Structure 1
Amino acid sequence: MMMSNLTRDLIQLKALVLKEYREAFRDKRALMVALMMAILAPIGIMMISKIMIEKLVDEPPVYVKFSGAEYAPQLIKHFADNNLLAFVDVPADEKSTWQQRSITLNIPANYAADMAAGKPIQLHLQADFTDKAVQPPVRRINNALRAFSLSIGYKRLLLRGVDIRLLNPLELVEQDTAKPDATFMLISMMLGLYLMLAAFMSGLSVAIDSSAGERERNVLEMLLCQPVSTLKIVLAKLISASTISVIGVLLILLLTSVSVGFVDLTKIGATFSLDLSTAAILLLLLLPICFFASACQLFVAFQTKSFKEAQSTVGMLIGIPAFIPFVISMMDDRPQWLNWLPIAGQSMIIEKIFKGVELDWLAVFTTSSVTIVITVALILALAKKLKSEKVVMALS
C-alpha cells in the first residue's frame, strides 16, 4: 500500500513537472531573453578583460603637442622611446581625437642653459585633467618625465663622486606567493558575480509566469482543484524554474571557457583555465543557489496581487547576488558566520577557488546545507500558503 502511494505521488509529480516544462519551453523568445544574460556575460568578460589589459599593460601611442621641442632633443627622444610622440605624427584617422584631447607640453627656451647650470627647470603640461580619456596619457607623461629627471640626477651625483646607492638605503623585495591563476582576479571576480546573477536571473521569468502568471490566467485555480497536494505543485514549479537557472549557469561556464581563450593573458603574466573538475565544483556549489533563488522568487511572486506587481517586486531580488559579494569584498575581517549564509558563503568559496586556495569541503557542505534548509523552509511555507484562498485569489 505504501509503495503504491509512493508510485502514485511520483507519477503525479512527474506529470506536474512535465506540465511546467511545457509551459517554460513553450515561448522560445521569452526563454532566449531569460538566458540572454548567460550568453552575453562571457562576451562581456572577454571585452572588458581586453580593455583592462590594454590599459594596464599595453602602451598605445600618445600624441603630445610639444612647444619648444628643439630645445630638449634628449627629452623628446626619451619620450619617443616611451611611445609619447609628437602631434605631427598622429595618424589621420586619430587626428580629431587627439586634437580634442589637446595635450600640450611647453619646454622653455632656456632649457639647455639651465640644464648645464644645474638649475631646476619648469615644464608646463596643459590638458583638461577632468577628462577621463586624458588621465592615462597624462600619467604616462608624468612617469616618463620623472624617470628622465631621476636619471639626470643620478648622473650628476656620479660625476661628483657620490654613490647613488646612498639614496636607497632600504630595498623591499616582494615575493608573490599567489598561484598563477590568482594573478588574474579580474576574470574571477566578474565570473563569480555573473554565475550568481545567472542563478537568479535565468529562471526569473519562468518563476513569475508559473506563479502570478498562472494565477491571472486562472490556471492555478484549476490546478488546485485536481487531487494533488500543494506541495507537489510547488515542487514542480521549483524544478522547472531551477532547471532554467542551471542551464544559465552551465552556459556561462561553457562560453567563458571559450571566450577567455581570445584574451592574451600572457601580457600580465597570468593564466586562466576552467577545467572540467573546476567547472564541476562550481556547478555543485551553485546548484543549491539555483533552487534557493527559484524558491525565493516563487514565494515573493505568490505574495503579489498581479503579474505586473510580481515582475517589479521579484525583480528586486536580483540585487541580492550583486550586493552581498560587493559588501564582502569590501570587508577586511570577515566574520566566521558569513561562511554559513547563502550567497555569502558561496561567493567566498568561489573567490578562493580562483585564487588557487585548497578547497574547504566543510565550508562547501555547511553553506550548501544552510541554503538547502532555507529553500525547504520556503517551499513548505509556500505549500501551506497555497491552501489559503487569499493567496490563490490574490486577496491578501
Structure 2
Amino acid sequence: MNADFGQLKALVLKEYKEAFRDKRALMVALMMAFMAPIMIVVMSKIMIEKMVDEPPVYIKFTGAEYAPKLMTHLSDNNILPFADIPESDRGIWDERNITLEIPSEFAQNMAEGKPIKIHLQADFTDKAVATPVRRINSAVRDFSLSIGYKRLQLRGIDVRLLNPVTLVEQDTAKPDATFIMISMLLGVYLMMAAFMSGLSVAIDSSAGERERNVLEMLLCQPVSTLKIVLAKLISAATISLIGVVLILVLTSVSVGFVDLTKVGATFSLGLSTVVTLLILLLPICLFASAAQLFLAFQSKSFKEAQSTVSIVIGIPAIIPFAMMMMDDRPQWLDWMPISGQSLIMEDIFKGVDVNWLAVLATSGVTLAITAALVLSLAKKLKSEKVVMALS
C-alpha cells in the first residue's frame, strides 16, 4: 500500500512540475480567471445604467415652438434638443439622427380636443437607437395620458374608471438575494473556468507527452496505467480548481467597485458560500479534466487534440443558457453534470438554503462519469494504438 501511494505521489509531483514549469502557459491557462471579474464589473455597470440611470437623449425637433408644455415634459425626462448636445457627443447623435416632428396645428388641435399626430423618425433597425426611441415613446405616452386624465376630470369623470383591474406584484425573493445579473454571469464563468483553466495542462500531459516520447518512457516503468491517468487528472484538476478560486476571490474584490445600491441589491461571498461552491465545483473540475484527457488521448497529434478538446469549452456556457429557455425542465437535469450544479448555484446566489441531497446526487453522478472515463482511459493506454497514435 505504501509503495503504491509512493508511486502515485511521485507521478503527481512529476505532473505538477511539468504543469508549473512554463509560467507563461500557466498564465494563459488562468487568463479566464482574471478576465471574468472584469467582465462582471463592466456588464453590471452597463445593466445598472440601463435599469436606473437615464442618460440624456438628444433629438432633432421640428416645430418645438408649437408645443412648449410637451417640450418641458420631455426635458424633465432628460430628452433634450439637439442644440444642447456636448461637442464630444455630437458625432454619435448625428449618426443616430432621431427626429421628432410636431405639427403647426398642435395647440389648436389640443384646444379643440382633436387627435394630434407627432412623427418620430429614426432607423429602427439600429440597436443603438432602440433605447432612446423607447424612452421617447414612454415620455410622449405619459404626456398624452396626463392630458387625457385632466380632460376627464374637468368633465366630472373619475379617471380610476380607466383602470378597473390593478395587478399587484409581490416579490417572494429574500431581501438579501444577490443581484441576479452578477450571479448568472458568475455561475457561467465559474463553470467555464473549471473547463478552461486545466485545458492546456490536460493537452500537454497527454498528446504533448506522446509527441515528446515521454509517455512511452513512462509506460515502460513498473507503474500501472491507472496511476498514470490519476496523476495527470489530479494535476489538471488542481489547475482548474485554482482558476475557480481566483474567480471567487477576484470577483469578491471587483464587485466592490459596482454601486449595487442603485438597484437595491447586495453582493457578498461569505466563507460558507465559498466553501459550498468549491464543494460543488470540485467534481466538475475532475470531470472536465477527465473528459479533456480522454479526448486528447484519442487524437492523433497535438494540434488535433487542441482542436478537439477546445470544443468542450462551449458546453458549460451552452447548457445553462439552454436551460433558461426551457419552460418545463426534465427532472433528470437536476442531477446531471453541469446542469445540476448550475441549478444549485442559482439557488445559492438567490439566498435559498442549499439542498445537500441535490448536491450529493449531482456530485455522485459527476464523479461516477469521471471514474468511468478514468478507467476507460487507463485501459486504452495499454493499447499500442493509443500510445503510438496509430490509426
**TM-score by shorter chain over 0.5:** yes
Q: Does 1:93 align with 2:88?
A: yes
- Are the equivalent residues in 1 in contact too, given 2:178–2:267 (CA < 8 A)? no
* TM-score (ref. length: structure 1): 0.97
- Are the equivalent residues in 2 in contact too, given 1:182–1:355 (CA < 8 A)? yes
User: 1:277 is aligned with what amino acid?
Assistant: S
Q: Secondary structure at the match of 2:315?
A: helix
Q: Distance in 2 between matches of 1:151 and 1:20?
A: 72
Alignment partner, residue 216 of structure 2: 221
Q: Distance in 2 between matches of 1:303 and 1:252?
A: 31
Q: Distance in 2 between matches of 1:75 and 1:168?
A: 24
User: 1:100 is aligned with what amino acid?
Assistant: E
User: 1:95 is aligned with what amino acid?
Assistant: R
Alignment partner, residue 65 of structure 1: 60
Q: Does 1:206 align with 2:201?
A: yes
Q: Distance in 1 between matches of 2:64 and 2:122?
A: 18
User: 1:13 is aligned with what amino acid?
Assistant: L
Q: Does 1:362 align with 2:341?
A: no
- Are the equivalent residues in 1 in contact too, given 2:178–2:349 (CA < 8 A)? no
Alignment partner, residue 8 of structure 1: 3
Alignment partner, residue 26 of structure 2: 31
**Aligned equivalent of 2:250, options 255, 263, 276:** 255
- Are the equivalent residues in 2 in contact too, given 1:180–1:271 (CA < 8 A)? no
- Report Cα offsets for 1:267-295 as digits up to 9, x if no partner: 11111111111111011100000001000
**Aligned equivalent of 2:303, options 298, 304, 308:** 308
- Are the equivalent residues in 2 in contact too, given 1:203–1:242 (CA < 8 A)? yes
Q: Distance in 1 between matches of 2:48 and 2:297?
A: 46
Q: Does 1:231 align with 2:226?
A: yes
Alignment partner, residue 273 of structure 1: 268
Alignment partner, residue 3 of structure 1: none
- Are the equivalent residues in 2 in contact too, given 1:181–1:354 (CA < 8 A)? no
Q: Distance in 1 between matches of 2:58 and 2:183?
A: 35
- Report Cα offsets for 1:28-83 as digits up to 9, x if no partner: 11100000011101100100111111112110001111111111111000000000
Alignment partner, residue 41 of structure 2: 46
- Are the equivalent residues in 2 in contact too, given 1:157–1:164 (CA < 8 A)? yes
Pick which of 315-324 and 285-294 moved more.
315-324
Q: Does 1:143 align with 2:138?
A: yes
- Are the equivalent residues in 2 in contact too, given 1:39–1:252 (CA < 8 A)? yes
Alignment partner, residue 373 of structure 2: 378
Alignment partner, residue 348 of structure 1: 343
Q: Distance in 1 between matches of 2:308 and 2:166?
A: 57
Alignment partner, residue 156 of structure 1: 151
Q: Distance in 2 between matches of 1:22 and 1:125?
A: 66
Q: Distance in 2 between matches of 1:96 and 1:328?
A: 41
Q: Distance in 2 between matches of 1:106 and 1:321?
A: 49
Q: Distance in 2 between matches of 1:176 and 1:115?
A: 41
Unaligned runs of 5+ in 1: 1-5
User: 1:90 is aligned with what amino acid?
Assistant: I
Q: Does 1:289 align with 2:284?
A: yes
Q: Distance in 1 between matches of 2:334 and 2:133?
A: 44
Deviation at residue 393 of structure 1 after TM alignment: 0.5
- Are the equivalent residues in 2 in contact too, given 1:57–1:267 (CA < 8 A)? yes
Deviation at residue 182 of structure 1 after TM alignment: 3.7
**Aligned equivalent of 1:77, options 72, 75, 83:** 72
User: 2:76 is aligned with what amino acid?
Assistant: D
Q: Secondary structure at the match of 2:128?
A: coil
Q: Distance in 1 between matches of 2:340 and 2:191?
A: 12
Pick which of 261-270 and 84-93 moved more.
261-270
Q: Distance in 2 between matches of 1:352 and 1:134?
A: 36
* TM-score (ref. length: structure 2): 0.98
**Aligned equivalent of 1:21, options 16, 26, 38:** 16
Alignment partner, residue 128 of structure 2: 133
Deviation at residue 183 of structure 1 after TM alignment: 6.1
- Are the equivalent residues in 2 in contact too, given 1:66–1:106 (CA < 8 A)? yes
Deviation at residue 394 of structure 1 after TM alignment: 0.5
Q: Distance in 2 between matches of 1:320 and 1:44?
A: 20
Q: Distance in 2 between matches of 1:332 and 1:184?
A: 22
- Are the equivalent residues in 2 in contact too, given 1:53–1:267 (CA < 8 A)? yes
Aligned-CA RMSD value: 1.0
User: 2:146 is aligned with what amino acid?
Assistant: S
Unaligned runs of 5+ in 2: none
